[in-house]
Structure 1
Amino acid sequence: MMNTEYRKTLPGTSLDYFDARAAVEAIAPGAYDMLPYTSRVLAENLVRRCDPAALTDSLKQLIERRRDLDFPWFPARVVCHDILGQTALVDLAGLRDAIAAQGGDPALVNPVVPTQLVVDHSLAVECGGFDPDAFAKNRAIEDRRNEDRFDFINWTKRAFRNVDVIPPGNGILHQINLERMSPVIQVTDGVAYPDTLVGTDSHTPMVDALGVIAIGVGGLEAESVMLGRASWMRLPDIVGVELTGKPQPGITATDIVLALTEFLRKEKVVSAYLEFYGEGAANLTLGDRATISNMAPEFGATAAMFYIDAQTIKYLKLTGRDDALVALVETYAKQAGLWADSLTKARYERVLTFDLSSVVRNIAGPSNPHKRVPTSELAARGISGKVENEPGLMPDGAVIIAAITSCTNTNNPRNMIAAGLFARNANRAGLVRKPWVKSSLAPGSKAVTLYLEAAGLLPELESLGFGVVAYACTSCNGMSGALDPMIQQEIIERDLYATAVLSGNRNFDGRIHPYAKQAFLASPPLVVAYAIAGTIRFDIEKDVLGVDADGKPVRLADLWPSDEEIDAIIASSVKPEQFRRVYEPMFAASVEHGEPAEPLYDWREMSTYIRRPPYWEGALAGERTLRGMRALAVLGDNITTDHLSPSNAIMADSAAGEYLAKMGLPEEDFNSYATHRGDHLTAQRATFANPTLKNEMVVVDGQVKAGSLARIEPEGKITRMWEAIETYMTRKQPLIVIAGADYGQGSSRDWAAKGVRLAGTEAIVAEGFERIHRTNLVGMGVLPLEFKPGTNRKTLGIDGSETFDVIGERTPRADLTLVIHRQKKDGSSERVEVPVTCRLDTAEEVSIYEAGGVLQRFAQDFLESSQAAA
């Protein structure tokens, strides 16, 4: 529902808008000009949607930069990829069953906010880009492996209102969102207002580049927004980032974003909304901006905004948006104070300055996006070195995967054209890809293929093994597919330190491929270069890539295209018609739902992909005691959601692999952990299943042993993590996890919270939490607790043999007490009381936690509403 006060006619149009400036200045004259871009968009949302009785107090939070009141935010839409989106819809289908079982109307459970689901996470690159039929073969395998999932997804678009589905084989969610889905300015019931959204993926902020507030959330929070509930927030830190200078020749947007990631991580912008501005920002193309905004989670930030300006309008025209929409965006932005020129007086909590001219060519790795390495320093950093090439054998450091992948970089025409020109130059010099390199090209949009074809560059990439294998996330999401068996065997037998190089946004341990012991992020042309080099031990700036027909040595600089040539190719080959040709039929098909389906899904009993969720049954519906908890794991810093619930291929000797084998699946169809998240019996076996996990409770010969391992207490028995979980579940033993700093960083993976809750975990105590994972824990009824500064697992001497209680009244950010019970060697007992902070940050979060989680809260609300209606 919209309010009526401050609703006015938008000049030059037949539409209305809500005048946030007038509302703000009625409280504090002149204040609107000092609000950052983010606050202006949030103010409009409040003026249009907030309860009028709460409007003044909510706006004062923005005007006075206060953080003592929660205020509502109503995103205009929800976007999902098929993994978390499907999981969210499985939850809603299960909620329908729970409502029906208690006599309620299941049709009440229905998204009221437009929800767009793009199937992009389920394709594995089983066939590399050197196979001319790779795309068709990979898609056929995807359809076969995911038949259960796709049946469910097809049911959802017919059973639920307001759900549109883009089927597999069409592109990556964030790139489609950037190139078509986002109108920048929405129109509903004759009212124009800023597009805003939440998405079930941490890289949802990519469309921040358009001036659209888009944030990544967990599946549970997305479900709440789908059902029309407000997303409650307190005013975040809003940090200005002034970009100065101009990039040096030959520097790509990838180089810029990797340098920014290092810089912003050091500046500690955790959970902040960043706003990029300045002369440097104004000169960046929208594609360059999108590459930057995409990596907001790698900065540690919630959002990475750019103002609306001439570059925005140019991009909307380039991507074939309707002329009337483009005109509306400019008109609205200028009237509402969202145009760049209107923000010269904006004030920020702090301002950072970054000089674009300081950026050099970079890669990042071997296991974190912020670990930047200038390519000029590869030898000094110990990455490159002497390569011992034995005939017929792979070198140590062999690049086994070279993937041009990810919306981060394939959205950007400059990056993709640069890769194509580099490939052309390499072909002219007679260079080839090394035979052990599994190369691939997976654009986030079919428009990329069209403009590469128009430029004559797609055949050049194909000649080097970079043919199109998919329009999907692929290697960026750990779906690199199987290696050639002979190559895999050589890696195992010789214990090679194999490497992946990709144009993605994450390279956490074990994420890209189980046999890639390290992974480096690089620009698309550098990915091509490393496929030719064949090893990470190669000094990519200095060493000789090969010799040409005249016997002359060929180095990177000889192949790198000039900025002028890149820009000329873009001007001649990237056209609006290409985007219209791709998207007009795609979106026409996405809204054709066919006959309505039955409101209750017919669950397939033997499915390992889709199963009715258990969250309203048994122990999960019971009371959490927070008493007598035993440690399931004691962990260090920087635990990622890939550690907590990996997304990549399921190995035969894993707990999930053994379960799938018992269910009759052949090993070649095990698929990835991610694709099985609609079946809790498979997905819970992924809990702490990452082979690089270091559980400090598992000490062998004085060293912490890596692996999916645990120690069952009080016996002290070391075993596989899943066997420990099963043991504790049988005993009905409440559990706790103790961790270090930055717990839960990485993908917005709700199963990282669901898995520990299903295991019986009632609380997580850490030195700090990543934002999305913390909200997922709350949504699953797991209590997040934070050590006070200076206190941690080491200062307390926690070794996992203890039992734990949590006492105190749970209110927003209250001081609670963690009670540690120890048995000493002399048989006596010790009780230690440790003050901790309750990380239920808002009254709404307390309410969700006390209900048992967001899904239990939904069921209560729907039953109450149906009883009231009766």
Structure 2
Amino acid sequence: MINLYEKGAYLVNGTELVDEDNTEKLAQLTGSALSKEEARQNTIAYGILSDHNTSGNMDKLMIKFDTLTSHDITFVGIIQTARASGIEKFSVPYVLTNCHNSLCAVGGTINEDDHMFGLTAAKRYGGMYVPPHQAVIHQFAREMLAGGGKMILGSDSHTRYGALGTMAMGEGGPELVKQLLNRTYDINMPSVVGVYLTGKPEKGVGPQDVALAIIGAVFECGYVNNKVMEFVGPGVANLSADFRIGIDVMTTETTCLSSIWKTDDTIKEFYEIHGREKDYKELNPGAVAYYDGMVEVDLSKIKPMIAMPFHPSNTYTIEEVNANLKDVLAEVEKRALVSLDGAVDYSLQDKIKDGKLYVDQGIIAGCAGGGYENICEAANILKGASIGSDEFTLSVYPASTPVFMELVKNGAVADLMATGAVVKTAFCGPCFGAGDTPANNAFSIRHSTRNFPNREGSKLQSGQIASVALMDARSIAATAANKGYLTPATDIDTDFSVPKYFFDKTIYENRVFDSKGVADPSVEVQFGPNIKDWPEMSALPENLVLKVVSEIHDPVTTTDELIPSGETSSYRSNPLGLAEFTLSRKDPAYVGLAKEIQKAQKAIEAGNCPLDAVEELKSVMEAVHTKYPEAGEGNIGVGSTIFAVKPGDGSAREQAASCQKVLGGWANIANGYATKRYRSNLINWGMLPLTIEEGELPFKNKDFLFLPGIRKAVENKDSRIRAFVVEDGGLREFALTLGELTDDEREIILKGCLINYYKEEN
């Protein structure tokens, strides 16, 4: 079904794979000796990156994107950061969508205030504004923004339009601020891994099934971590545009940097349907292209899949689950002991009814599930059926109003509603816990993007827990037709034909504000009472005293655990208000501990003695002075740090880092970082992304650490950072590493954050 090459591979004429060690076969096929480095330049990814690189050096990229896009729990903070940095006009097309805080039902007027902020900012600075319920961020980008050979940067991790020939990346907000201020996205040239598709999916298998199979194969081993996935091979031609898009959007869950696909007449037709023929570009790898790794996927062997709680990589075939139900559920419960820290009693055994798995809820929604074909095929399966009147419910969210309109016209909406399903407007809520939150102990199957702990809206600290499993819309519909009993779509004998799609952009022409890139400085940006400026942030001091205020030993820590989604969304435009939720579901003691030690730094900034503000610092400084008597007034900073094994999987949200900074965080310490996105967020908020070798930690939670000469170490580009644990009245040394930083990144850390960096430039 899926095969991972141990080394790299060559793709010859777009059809034949050759292992990198098989030089004899390569010579036979090509008739010439092409070096690996030359063949690397023949990938589609290399060509697009080269076209957008401004550095003149393909090893050290400085990328300028064609378009930026954000939604309403990220754009307020981004624009506030840009305003604080002196912006007068968006220097690149910037689209503000409203698909996360759409309900306007939490926090009084907070959410709609954010929307009005976005509309007036788009007018003042020359952007585009998509009102709530019109489209989810990524569907609008597919319909209106993507183009062959283009690059798009979005402040949402699922910014993926590779199937349409657009290399797109999801990053934290500060990276968009850099683009808005006419700066660049600076990275080393990423490795490119080929995904070679063959065969054709059997009837009933959908894009989520293929995506989950790939995620299950590559996530744990880190095969594509921070790399570009390039989809090639004869199997691509056997997939519709919607099918490719459905696979592509889920590449984020592999932890890859970006994705790109070869394009053909199917994608050309997509652009024609959307009235944008000129945006199509045929993309193919060169005659001989070298890939740093290769994932072979035989589409004909993919079965309906399910990602069990609590990660998209926890994959099984539905057939496996049904055949080994008790064993699979027991394994999930065992994993839950780690994911949930034993905070609640968790069992799935009561979901077994008459020897089958009964689920409580089905959701087809968002950038992954809400596409036209997914919903049409779900409607085909359900036509004439009933979802029943028991616990099971089904909600369907088309990804945009044009998709919704076409589903109404062709009767699919009527067919779904007749079964008892509920059809709703474009909204990302079910994907992050702000819509269709299930009952306590309920089990939900969703064609959405993630199933992390609490992703569906439950709160461990309140004793609540529910579970999400990821599935394809077709098997969700089959399960709904079976009144909630887990069923693969391949068991259903139905007509899977999909009516031709007709795109009508009238609703966008009537409702979307488009400045056409023209700024109007006469427009005043409208603020609500919950929209706050970023607090002042100090530059990195000469020496640092850090208190460890959280210690997390899960194999991976998600951004959802660092700053929860769901009810926190209304506070994304209020840095101090949002910070109160930091680690609230993972380590409720964190905020109190961080704020207590932050009193010392606030005293320093006010010109007062930190020892008077935090009593326990007196003995800490006595210990420091045994080796560093000069450390003290005028050359020291005090704050907090956390340790996590591998933090940052999941969302691109910058708040996972900025909330720690707002509470006095100066650093993270980790064995490694799950994504480039999270590490960049730390850097852009002036936090040190420190690493430590795997093994027993030299410190524990609530210990104090001392980092002498930390400012000089950053200035001198030291990779090894000298550190000490304060204990028994003395200092015990251990080593940290800082990792590679660009010159700009070092300056951002030295100045305290990206805002300070730009303030000083201006």
- For normalisation by structure 1, the TM-score amounts to 0.71
Q: Which of 436, 444, 448 matches 1:500?
A: 444
Q: Displacement, 1:302?
A: 0.8
Aligned to 1:774: 679
Kindly report which structure 2 residues correspond to 1:427-438, keeping only aligned pairs within 5 A, or say none.
Answer: 427=385, 431-438=386-393
- For 1:579-634, what per-residue CA distance to the aligned partner results, in whole angstroms no more than 9, with x for missing partners? 334444445x4338999465765655xx23x11221xx2xx134445522110111
Unaligned 5+ segments in structure 1 are: 1-27, 62-66, 97-107, 125-138, 185-193, 334-338, 492-496, 542-555, 650-672, 694-707, 711-720, 863-870
Match of 2:559 in 1: 641
Aligned in 2, Cα 1:635/1:560: closer, same or farther, shift over 3 Å?
farther
Q: What is the match of residue 580 of structure 1?
A: 505
Does the Cα contact within 8 Å between 1:397 and 1:498 map onto a contact in 2? no
- Mapped pair 1:590 → 2:514: yes
Q: CA deviation at 1:740?
A: 3.9
Could you list the per-position Cα deviations for residues 157-184 of structure 1 after superposition, in whole angstroms to 9, with x for gaps in the alignment?
22213x1111111011111111222233
2:8 matched residue in structure 1: none
Q: Deviations over 1:655-690 (max 9, x none)?
A: xxxxxxxxxxxxxxxxxx122111122111121122
RMSD: 3.1
Counterparts of 1:72 and 1:851 in 2: how far apart (Å)?
21
Q: Deviations over 1:527-579 (max 9, x none)?
A: 334456666xx4535xxxxxxxxxxxxxx666453xxx323x334xx22xx33
The residue aligned with 1:153 is: 118
Q: Describe the shift of the 1:271–1:29 C-alpha distance in structure 2 as closer, same or farther (beyond 3 A).
A: closer
SS in 2 for 1:579: coil
> Does residue 627 of structure 1 match 2:576?
no
Alignment check: 8 A CA contact 2:69 2:154 kept: yes
SS in 2 for 1:316: helix
Corresponding residue of 2:89? 110
Number of aligned positions between the proteins: 662
Cα shift at 1:398? 6.9
Contact preservation (8 Å) 2:172, 2:680:
yes
Q: Which amino acid aligns with 2:114?
A: R
Q: What amino acid is the match of 1:382?
A: V
Q: Which amino acid in 2 is paired with 1:833?
A: F
Query: Is residue 408–residue 505 contact of structure 1 (8 Å, CA) maintained in 2?
Result: yes
Counterpart mapping for 1:593-672 below 5 A: 596=520, 598=522, 601=525, 603-604=527-528, 607-608=529-530, 610-614=531-535, 617=536, 620-636=537-553, 637-649=555-567
By relative contact order (CA 8 Å, sep 6+), the higher-ranking structure is 2
Are residues 1:197 and 2:152 paired?
yes
Mark the CA change 1:368 to 1:534 in structure 2 (over 3 Å): closer, same or farther.
farther
What's the counterpart of residue 831 of structure 1?
A: 732
The match for 2:404 among 443, 446, 449 is 449
| Matched AA of 1:570 | P
Alpha-carbon spacing, 1:850–1:315, altered in 2? closer, same or farther (3 Å)? same
Q: 1:237·1:349 contact (CA, 8 Å) conserved in 2?
A: yes
List runs of 5+ in structure 2 lacking aligned partners: 1-34, 330-347, 459-463, 602-613, 615-637
SS at match of 1:295: helix
Deviations 1:762-801 (A, max 9, x none): 111101112101001000000001223xx34x35363443
Equivalent position SS for 2:190: coil
- Give the letter aligned to residue 474 of structure 1: G
**Residue 709 of structure 1 aligns with which residue?**
588
Match of 2:132 among 146, 153, 168: 168
SS at match of 1:146: helix
Out of 186, 196, 208, the position equivalent to 1:242 is 196
1:314-363 deviations in Å (ceiling 9; x for gaps): 21123x2244x15xx34xx4xxxxx32x5231112222322212211111
Q: Which amino acid aligns with 1:39?
A: Y
1:279 aligns with 2:234: yes
The amino acid across from 2:504 in the alignment is F
Cα distance, 1:417 vs. partner?
Answer: 1.3
> Aligned partners of 1:763, 1:143: CA distance in 2, in Å?
35
Matches within 5 A, 1:203-602: 203-205=158-160, 207-265=161-219, 266=221, 268-318=223-273, 320-323=274-277, 325=278, 329-330=280-281, 333=282, 339-340=283-284, 343-379=286-322, 380=324, 381-383=327-329, 399-411=359-371, 413-425=372-384, 427=385, 431-480=386-435, 491=440, 497-514=441-458, 515-531=464-480, 538-540=485-487, 559-561=492-494, 565-567=495-497, 569-571=498-500, 574-575=501-502, 578-587=503-512, 589-591=513-515, 596=520, 598=522, 601=525
Tell me if structure 2 keeps the 8 A contact 1:645–1:752. yes
State the one-letter code of the partner of 2:66.
A
Distance 1:307 1:845, change over 3 A: same
Identity of aligned residues (%): 20
| Large movers: runs of 4+ above 6 Å | 139-143, 395-398, 592-595
**Alignment-derived partner of residue 130 in structure 1:** none
* Residue 857, structure 1, aligned to residue 757, structure 2: yes
Give a deviation string over 1:704-737, Cα, whole Å, max 9, x none. Answer: xxxx323xxxxxxxxxx33323322223373343
Q: Is 1:730 the equivalent of 2:599?
A: yes
Partner of 2:461: none
Instruction: Tell me the amino acid that sits aligned with residue 540 of structure 1.
Output: T
Report the 3-state secondary structure (helix = DSSP H, G, I; strand = E; otherwise coil) of the residue aligned with 2:272.
Answer: helix
Which residue identity does 2:433 align to in structure 1? G
Cα contact 2:196–2:233 (8 A) shared by 1: yes
Partner residue of 1:786 out of 686, 691, 710: 691
Structure 1 CA distance, aligned partners of 2:724 and 2:407?
Answer: 62
Deviation at 1:267, TM superposition (A): 5.3
Give distance in 2, aligned partners of 1:675 and 1:396.
39
Q: Which residue number corresponds to residue 16 of structure 2?
A: none
1:867 aligns to what? none
Q: CA deviation at 1:840?
A: 4.6
**Which residue number corresponds to residue 136 of structure 1?**
none
